[in-house]
Amino acid sequence: MGALNNLMLGHVLRKLTDVFEVMLITSKSTAPQAAAIAQAQQRKTSAKMPYWLRCLRSNTPLQVTHVLFQHMHQMQKIDRQGRFEAQSALFELLVEEGIAMDIVSYSALRLGPVALPTACRAKAGVRV
């Protein structure tokens, strides 16, 4: 994968993660003002979701999964649990859409322990 393509893939995954992170914050928020602001931001960004998903489809499921897992690993490393949860929700959607590989198929490629976030290894039945 070329450097520019890798950069674009990472950018699109970050944007989609932002949308999912706002959705999680909105669902957990009890303050009506915070929820209203988050919902307005979510409407604005989720309008671009079809475009971002089309961008992801130009990559192989392996590439998408690999870059997303790199991002998830980074979030675990710096203890950004909310962001990691958003990435996990995004990952599930991407697998359902056929844009990313499922955990079992990806771990079967034996890409190494760094490529598969710790929480995902346990789900896939991979020894941690």
How do residues 4-56 score in pLDDT, each as one tens digit?
888 899 999 999 998 888 878 777 766 667 667 767 777 777 778 888 889 99
pLDDT for 93 equals 93
Q: Give the single-character DSSP code of 60.
A: -
CA distances from 78 to 7, 12, 41, 93, 100 (A): 21, 21, 25, 24, 24
Query: Is the pLDDT score of 88 beyond 80?
Result: yes
68: exposed, middle or buried (C-beta count within 10 Å: 0-12, 13-18, 19+)?
buried
If one counts the domains in the chain, the total is 1
The residue among 18, 14, 68 whose CA lies nearest residue 46 is 18
pLDDT for 79 equals 92
User: What domain range is 24 assigned to?
Assistant: 3-124
pLDDT band at 128 (very low <50, low <70, confident <90, very high): very low
Query: Is the pLDDT score of 111 beyond 80?
Result: no
pLDDT for 100 equals 96
pLDDT band at 85 (very low <50, low <70, confident <90, very high): very high
Instruction: Give per-residue pLDDT as tens, 58-71.
Output: 999 999 999 999 99
CA pair distance 59, 5, nearest whole angstrom: 9
